[in-house]
Amino acid sequence: MNLAVFASGSGSNFEAIIEAINNGEVRGEIKLLVCDHPGAYAVKRAEKHGIPVFTAVLKTFASKAAFEEAVLAELRKHEVELVILAGFMRLIGPVLLSAYEQRILNIHPSLLPAFPGLDAIGQAFAAGVKVSGVTVHYVDAGMDTGPIIAQECVKIDESDTIEDLQRNIQRVEHQLYPQTIQQVIEQIKGSVHS
């Protein structure tokens, strides 16, 4: 299955998905990285792995719709079937949502619906919760509101610092996202054949 990953930052999840593909755990191919920050480390990771990059900076377009039309043209060019958001710091708008209905996934570092939006790890830490976690969900028009596909808990011990929590969340993300992507790929393949 042809995949595109969208990232704005470091891209450690992007890298985990590349590894899972190389190990045969995810049966897909990343055709494209879409990035809205030219200096993002995710771009370096893509270059290292020979993955084409489409960098699109929102403010250089006349509108968000025009930005998404440009992204959509690239996705079509690469025959992308499933879009994976991995630290992409923008809401997806109607152009992409209607072209990729039920075909856009996101990962969020909390047990949604708790702590949506920015700095979910900081929010959870400040709230003093004893359990947080990771959610993978389909993307809809809201902020971290789409149907949940998978969740995994991460315990927060009394002695944990926010850095410990960050590390523990990331460790879970790097397992859960590839696993869930493969599940979704199987589901799509099943529904196409039936």
Q: Which residues are catalytic?
A: 108
- The closest alpha carbon to 13, from 159, 127, 154, 134, belongs to 134
Alpha-carbon distance 87 to 84, whole Å? Answer: 10
Has 13 been labeled as part of a binding site?
Answer: yes
Q: Is 35 in the site for ligand GRF (CB under 6 A)?
A: no
Has 91 been labeled as part of a binding site?
Answer: yes
From candidates 33, 36, 84, 109, binder to ligand GRF by CB under 6 A:
109
Q: Is 87 in the site for ligand GRF (CB under 6 A)?
A: yes
From candidates 21, 71, 80, 86, binder to ligand GRF by CB under 6 A:
86
For residue 145, the minimal CB distance to ligand GRF (Å) is: 14
What is residue 140's three-state secondary structure? coil
Contact between 10 and 89 (Cβ < 8 Å): no
For residue 11, the minimal CB distance to ligand GRF (Å) is: 5
Report strand pairing: 131-138 vs 104-108.
Answer: antiparallel
Q: Is 3 in the site for ligand GRF (CB under 6 A)?
A: no
What is residue 156's three-state secondary structure? coil
Alpha-carbon distance 79 to 28, whole Å? Answer: 12
Which region, judged by CB under 6 A, interacts with ligand GRF, from 11-19, 45-53, 54-62, 64-72? Answer: 11-19
From candidates 11, 133, 146, 178, binder to ligand GRF by CB under 6 A:
11
What is residue 178's three-state secondary structure? helix
Q: Is 116 in the site for ligand GRF (CB under 6 A)?
A: no
Which residue is it, tokens 């002695």?
A: 159
Contact between 146 and 106 (Cβ < 8 Å): yes
Has 64 been labeled as part of a binding site?
Answer: yes
- Which of 12/151 has CB closer to ligand GRF? 12
Structure tokens at 76: 């079509």
From candidates 71, 100, 105, 108, binder to ligand GRF by CB under 6 A:
108
Can the peptide bond before residue 113 be classed as cis, meaning omega within 30 degrees of 0? yes
- Which residues are near ligand GRF by CB under 6 A? 7, 9-14, 86-87, 107-109, 173
Binding site membership: which residues?
11-13, 64, 89-92, 106
